[in-house]
Amino acid sequence: MKPIALITGAAGLIGGYLVRTAARWAPQWDVRGLSRAGADLTDSPQVAELWRRYYPSLVIHCAALSRTGACEQDPARARRINVDATRHLADLAHGIPFVFLSTDQVFDGSKGNYVETDGVNPLNVYGQTKAEAEQVVLQNPAHSVIRIALTAGTSPTRDRSFVEDMLRSVEKGSMLTLFTDEFRCPIPAGPLARALWEFVAQQRPGLYHLGGRERLSRWEIGDLLARWYPEFAPSIQPGSVADYQGPPRPPDLSMCSDKIQALLPFRLPGFRQWLSVGSHQGIDPWDEPPSDRQ
Ligand SMILES: NC(=O)c1ccc[n+]([C@@H]2O[C@H](COP(=O)([O-])OP(=O)(O)OC[C@H]3O[C@@H](n4cnc5c(N)ncnc54)[C@H](OP(=O)(O)O)[C@@H]3O)[C@@H](O)[C@H]2O)c1
């Protein structure tokens, strides 16, 4: 019998990819994807029952309130799932590997090219709850925190990734202003999921950054995407964050992923390079083996 790996947030973007790619990258695990329909992770008795049912040997915790706007609107709800539920699961998983997915948004974006030893200073509720949960998780030296960069992919509900958000806006006829002075390290969900599975196999717990190899502005990302999605081209325009009216935005959330890269048997892709091969006409353009992309 194979050991059970429990993936929370399996109906979400990254959890969905972890479940879908497990047969390819993690055949040694009996992977069980858990969605909200299976258990509300903020309901402690449900989670305890879930634990008794599965007795997992590994947890990759992807469930979260991951939309920054939703976290701002309801900070208490964000805290319940992002912090309290994470604490409960990490407690239950005290004797096994537990991998918590955090975010580049724990940083304020004033520096860029962040490494794992840089101090956090989140500007929004989402980042604050994630930074708090990181501290909880890292109390156990057998547990891991992986800060994930902006992830491109096709979610089960078709409404989770930033690419899907952009496509929906364009379909509605909206004009998107993409900042030339706001930077990220975007990564396709397929190689991200592979990296997570390879990381688990290495048994080297701790704090890691995981993003694409290239630092790109929002405008550069949109401009590159327009090669795959020609409908983007007339609907995107460059702009400056200096002209933006609204809550503070972190200008440069680029991260250095060298620490996790040293554990991986493949090279994390850059977004430009990924988009330079193939097209979005495939079965899932974000989920091809990295070897086909290099
Ligand atoms: N995608 C990115 O670009 C990105 C970047 C940095 C970090 N991350 C982090 O990576 C992780 C996975 O992200 P993602 O993009 O896959 O997020 P996602 O698509 O929003 O998926 C999160 C999943 O968690 C579920 N969930 C929320 N509250 C729950 C609850 N109380 N009980 C059970 N399930 C619950 C959601 O279900 P409902 O849909 O029913 O709410 C959803 O299916 C998150 O921790 C996120 O913060 C993602």
Rounded CA-CA distance 29/43 in Å is: 26
Q: CB under 6 Å to ligand 1: residues? A: 9, 11-15, 35-36, 40-42, 62-66, 81, 101, 103, 148, 150-151, 155, 160
pLDDT category, 285, cuts 50, 70, 90? confident
Nearest CA to ligand 1 atom 37: 36
Instruction: Measure the CA–CA gap between 14 and 128, rounded to whole angstroms.
Output: 21
> Has residue 261 got a pLDDT over 70?
yes
Tens-digit pLDDT profile for residues 56-75: 999 999 999 999 999 999 99
Taking 80 as the threshold, does the pLDDT of residue 105 lie above it?
yes
In the predicted structure, residue 248 carries a pLDDT above the cut 60:
yes
Q: If you average pLDDT over residues 209-238, what whole number do you get? A: 94
> Taken in order 63, 68, 73, 76, is the CA torsion positive or negative?
positive
**What is the distance between the alpha carbons of residues 173 and 115, in angstroms, rounded to a whole number?**
39
Residue-averaged pLDDT of the chain: 94
pLDDT value at position 228? 87
How many angstroms is it from 260 CA to the middle of ligand 1? 22
What's the pLDDT at 15? 98
In the predicted model, is pLDDT for residue 125 greater than 70?
yes
Tell me the per-residue pLDDT of 174-188, one tens digit each, with 9 for 90 and over. Answer: 999 999 999 999 999
Contact 251, 104 (CB under 8 A): no
Residue type, 246: G
Across 231-247, average pLDDT: 90
Q: In this predicted structure, what is the pLDDT of residue 291? A: 60
Ligand 1, atom 43, residue with closest C-alpha: 12
pLDDT band per the 50, 70, 90 thresholds, residue 216: very high
Choose the weakest-confidence range: 118-132, 243-257, 270-284. 270-284
Segment 190-215 mean pLDDT: 97
pLDDT of the residue at 292: 60
Confidence of residue 190 (pLDDT cuts 50, 70, 90): very high
Going from the Cα of 9 to the center of ligand 1, the distance in angstroms, rounded, reads 6
Using the mean position of ligand 1's atoms as its centre, give its distance from the Cα of residue 44 in Å: 18
CATH number of the structural domain 4-293: 3.40.50.720
pLDDT band at 231, cuts 50/70/90? Answer: confident
Helix (H) or strand (E) holding 59: strand 58-61
How would residue 282 be classed by pLDDT, with cut points 50, 70 and 90?
confident
Structure tokens at 209: 């950054």
Q: What is the mean pLDDT of residues 147-157?
A: 95
Q: Are 272 and 224 in contact (CB under 8 A)?
A: yes
Q: How far is CA 18 from the centre of its chain?
A: 11
Which pLDDT value is given to residue 294? 52
In angstroms, the CA 65 to CA 271 distance is 25
- pLDDT, residue 227, reads 87
CA–centroid distance, 81 to ligand 1, in Å, is 10
> How much is the average pLDDT of 109-116?
98
Domain ranges of the chain: 4-293
Average pLDDT over residues 92-101: 98
